[in-house]
Chains A and B, each alone.
Chain A
Amino acid sequence: MTSLIILLRKVNDRVAIGVGLVLLACVAFTLIEIIARRLGGSLGGVDEISGYVMAVTTSWGVSYALTEQAHVRIDLLHARLVPAGRALMDALAMLCLAGTAMMIAWRGWGVLAKTLSTGARANTPLETPLWIPQSLWWAGWAWFAISAILLSLFVIYKIVRGRYESVERVAGARAEV
């Protein structure tokens, strides 16, 4: 069970680097566009592509932030409880997160499914087939839901066995730094 969580962390770490590199590529692309514009030309479509990059950065980044315990929580009460109470609060937080993630993934699928069935294209000069950015985007949320479900199962398993400190290590509230 623990090795599964370690694997999850490792995968999300790679995801973060991958997303970061896409972000850097977007920086390079935008720089070229700025220079081209000064010279009177234009590549076009930079805004549109940065929008897609942002959607994908967000949907895949949230899983990394999840395994790094970076999602902001108000730990005013949390910090004052005994370990068992803290672990229960962590479990509640994780379950709510998993539920929300599933809801977003489910409703997000609706958006992608509609695009797939109508073959919708972006209303821009690039006429991007929307299924390309949207499937990348949706896959990120689906992975977020899977990560959250795995973490929830782990947390419940550890609580049942009374291992509160491992709950804290995986799902505890951490200050955002």
Chain B
Amino acid sequence: MIPFTAFGLLGMLALSIPVGVVLCMLAFGIDVFFSPFPLMRGLGQVVWSSSNSATLIAIPLFVLLGEILVRSGVANRTYAALDKWVSWLPGGLIHANIATSTMFSATSGSSVATAATVATVAMPQARELGYSEKLFSGAIAAGGTLGIMIPPSINLIVYGFLTESSIPQLFLAGLLPGLLLAGLFMLVTAVLCVIWPSLGGPQRHATWAKRLASLVDLIPIFGLFAAIVGSIYAGWATPTEAATVGVAIALAIAAHQKALSRQMIADALRGAVKTSAMIMLVVIGAYVLNFVLTAGGVSRALQNMLNGLGFGPMATLLVIVLMYIVLGFFIETLSLMVATIPIVVPIIVHMGYDKIWFGILMIILVEMALITPPVGLNLYVVQSARRGRPFADVMLGCIPYVTAMLLMVALLILAPQIALYLPSTQ
């Protein structure tokens, strides 16, 4: 049964069958071949109860928030303002790339839309100012991945939903590691640019007067972030309610930027429905598979197998981390998370690890999947904003940031408190 599941999963994925469909078909297969009683009679109920959820509606709302925000034209100003604050560091504008993608993806739900927006804003500057494009584009791709860790995060909502853990706690747990990782990205950039100045470009110094004046342009994004995360932290709002408030604020920002039009709202709605339906088909597939794996005893069989191997908790954890790194080359973020959660999380919990902590660890690992070739969505998104230049530039430019992520994985394993401290203060 375990080989059937593993090979069935990888085989069908390789055949390019849609991921959500693969998960459902795997569940049908296990039901037909291995289950003593027909589980699929419950399929309708499973689909109904998994999608009838006041928790999951936060997904389309956060996606909508991001869709409105990227169309509001606020990215240009944010980028210009952050440029004044961070471009004095060795590496110059590259730091502005990291900071802008971090802030933007932190408030919006979709890291892809974010990377696309920041890339369109930033890439022309690279040419104008004569930056080497490798590290420059790598920073946008890597910075964009932070969005799924820094709250609000759609991936954390999905994780919380599938593993029945608290989403507010997950959001809080992601905050410090996310900021730390952003800091590591900037540190790596600065160190590299001190050693090899040709990797970066001119450092830029803005006067304090200009810096302070630019703060006005940061208010929208900071305000949005504070409203969402603050209200969840204080316990005033559920993630869904915070998302609702976020959508309202994003609409206000767009109105203030005079970007609001019927066409713009229609496009934002289309984008939100498309992205969230895509996510939901995968989530429903995982939910159905989860149901069959649990009812069919696969999870237990897997645990017995692992116990039989006699690995300790640390060895098991390292094997799992390695598996994510390898699979991450070939499978995309959400698919990777959702397809493995039903199998991996029960094992991790059984080994005595914390579910919330592992959620954050998993997020870093799937962030890496976003920027590791051949399948790494953010690489392609950044590349599409710089047509005609070699794709290898983006890939090479990401290597330092992948290294920083590996360092972060090690830190998180050695010091789980980085993730668990904030939730414990709530």
Chain A: residues with CB nearer than 8 A to chain B?
Answer: 13, 16-17, 19-21, 23-24, 26-27, 30-31, 34, 46-48, 50-55, 57-59, 61-62, 64-65, 68, 70-78, 89-90, 92-93, 96-97, 99-100, 103-104, 107-112, 133-134, 137, 141, 173, 175-177
Q: Decide: A74 near B277, CB < 8 A? Known: A27-B248, A30-B241.
A: no
- Closest chain-A Cβ to B341's Cβ sits at a distance in Å of 16
Contact present for B17 and A73 (CB under 8 Å): yes
Contact present for B44 and A109 (CB under 8 Å): yes
Decide if B235 is an interface residue (CB 8 Å cutoff): no
B52 contact from A46, A55, A62, A96, Cβ within 8 A? A55
Contact present for A89 and B15 (CB under 8 Å): yes
Residues of chain B in range 6-58 having any CB-CB distance to chain A below 8 Å: 12-22, 24-25, 28, 40-41, 43-45, 47-48, 51-54, 56-57
A16 contact from B43, B116, B274, Cβ within 8 A? B274
Decide if B75 is an interface residue (CB 8 Å cutoff): no
Contact present for A23 and B44 (CB under 8 Å): no
For the residues of B in contact with A, the DSSP-based class is helix
A107 to B43: give the CA distance in the assembly, Å: 6
A17 to B282: give the CA distance in the assembly, Å: 22
Contact present for A34 and B43 (CB under 8 Å): no
Contact present for A51 and B52 (CB under 8 Å): yes
Stretch in B95-103, B146-154, B264-272, B405-413 with 4+ CB within 8 Å of A? B264-272
Contact present for A54 and B48 (CB under 8 Å): no
A176 to B43: give the CA distance in the assembly, Å: 27
Q: What are 5 of the A-B contact pairs (CB < 8 Å)?
A: A20-B266, A65-B274, A73-B19, A99-B25, A107-B47
A46 to B240: give the CA distance in the assembly, Å: 11
Contacts of A74 in B (CB 8 A): 13-14, 16, 19, 330-332, 335, 375
Nearest-neighbor residue (CB-CB) of A74 within chain B: B13
B273 contact from A16, A47, A109, Cβ within 8 A? A16
A72 to B331: give the CA distance in the assembly, Å: 10
Residue interface bits B105-121, CB-to-A below 8 A is 1, else 0: 00000001100100000
Q: Decide: A54 near B54, CB < 8 A? Known: A74-B14, A107-B47.
A: yes
Contact present for B44 and A54 (CB under 8 Å): no
A71 contact from B278, B330, B331, B332, Cβ within 8 A? B278
Q: Decide: A93 near B60, CB < 8 A? Known: A16-B270, A176-B377.
A: no
Nearest-neighbor residue (CB-CB) of A62 within chain B: B277
A137 to B48: give the CA distance in the assembly, Å: 8
A24 contact from B40, B56, B269, B375, Cβ within 8 A? B269
Contacts of B343 in A (CB 8 A): none
Q: Decide: A31 near B248, CB < 8 A? Known: A16-B274, A71-B281.
A: yes
Decide if B5 is an interface residue (CB 8 Å cutoff): no
Q: Decide: A133 near B277, CB < 8 A? Known: A74-B335, A76-B14.
A: no
Contacts of B247 in A (CB 8 A): 27
Contacts of B244 in A (CB 8 A): 27, 30-31, 34
Contact present for A64 and B19 (CB under 8 Å): no
Contact present for B41 and A107 (CB under 8 Å): yes
Q: Decide: A54 near B57, CB < 8 A? Known: A71-B281, A72-B334, A103-B43.
A: yes
Decide if B280 is an interface residue (CB 8 Å cutoff): yes
Contact present for B13 and A50 (CB under 8 Å): no
Nearest-neighbor residue (CB-CB) of B375 within chain A: A76
Decide if B313 is an interface residue (CB 8 Å cutoff): no
Decide if B276 is an interface residue (CB 8 Å cutoff): yes
Contacts of B53 in A (CB 8 A): 51, 54-55
Greatest chain A CB density within 10 A among B18, B56, B284, B374 is at B18
Greatest chain A CB density within 10 A among B14, B22, B47 is at B47
Decide if B275 is an interface residue (CB 8 Å cutoff): yes
Contact present for B48 and A48 (CB under 8 Å): no
- Closest chain-B Cβ to A28's Cβ sits at a distance in Å of 9
Greatest chain A CB density within 10 A among B17, B22, B245, B276 is at B17
Greatest chain A CB density within 10 A among B12, B16, B240, B270 is at B16
Contact present for B330 and A76 (CB under 8 Å): yes
Nearest-neighbor residue (CB-CB) of B40 within chain A: A107
Contacts of A100 in B (CB 8 A): 21, 24-25, 28
Q: Decide: A17 near B270, CB < 8 A? Known: A73-B16, A177-B381.
A: yes
A48 to B198: give the CA distance in the assembly, Å: 58
Closest 3 CB pairs of A and B: A20-B269, A61-B277, A107-B44
Contacts of B113 in A (CB 8 A): 177
Residues of chain B in range 338-393 having any CB-CB distance to chain A below 8 Å: 374-375, 377, 380-381
B277 contact from A24, A70, A103, A110, Cβ within 8 A? A70
Contact present for A34 and B245 (CB under 8 Å): yes
Decide if B237 is an interface residue (CB 8 Å cutoff): yes
- Closest chain-B Cβ to A158's Cβ sits at a distance in Å of 18
